[in-house]
Amino acid sequence: MTKMEKLKVLFICKDNSVRSQMAAAFLNRYFGDHYEAYSAGLEPSEINPYTKKVMEEIGIDISSNCAKSIEEYRGKKFDCIISLCDYAAASSSRFPECKKKLNNYFKGYCTPIFCEIAEKSDACFPEHKKLRGKINKGPSDVKDTEKEILAAFRCLREEIFDWIEKEAMF
């Protein structure tokens, strides 16, 4: 009996600091028998400390991870590349070679606390500059208290996990 080769999946977002880190960690942890997941950013920064914290809460240690550039994967072949923000999807011509491209934007999370570019421009989703409906009781802005930021990161973590669990047939 021959060993089945794992499918290679690359998750891409702008910074490689939140969404792509979470998605790759989940796919490797729960579906690592079938997939080999990587993450990269178009303009990598540093992994957001809240990303590390909320993943550690559920027993996934990404403390040794570092944000990587998509350029590090140039020349490598992937079975699937998944962009996790509009900014990444708009830059898909920069992606390495792959058999399949998918997009899942997690639109409600393109806010300054999750993505540096959201703070600087309207390149992502201007209608979602304020996170509503996830941790707020009404239309007020997200306050930058640690409790609220962690709540928002936990919501994103759960949304990414649910998506990976349902869609892990890339």
Tell me the catalytic residues.
Answer: 13, 85
* Residue 94: DSSP 8-state: G
How far lies 14's CA from each of 31, 41, 161, in Å?
24, 5, 20
- Number of Cβ within 10 Å of residue 110's Cβ equals 26
Q: Of the candidates 99, 104, 103, 102, which has an alpha carbon nearest to the alpha carbon of residue 78?
A: 99
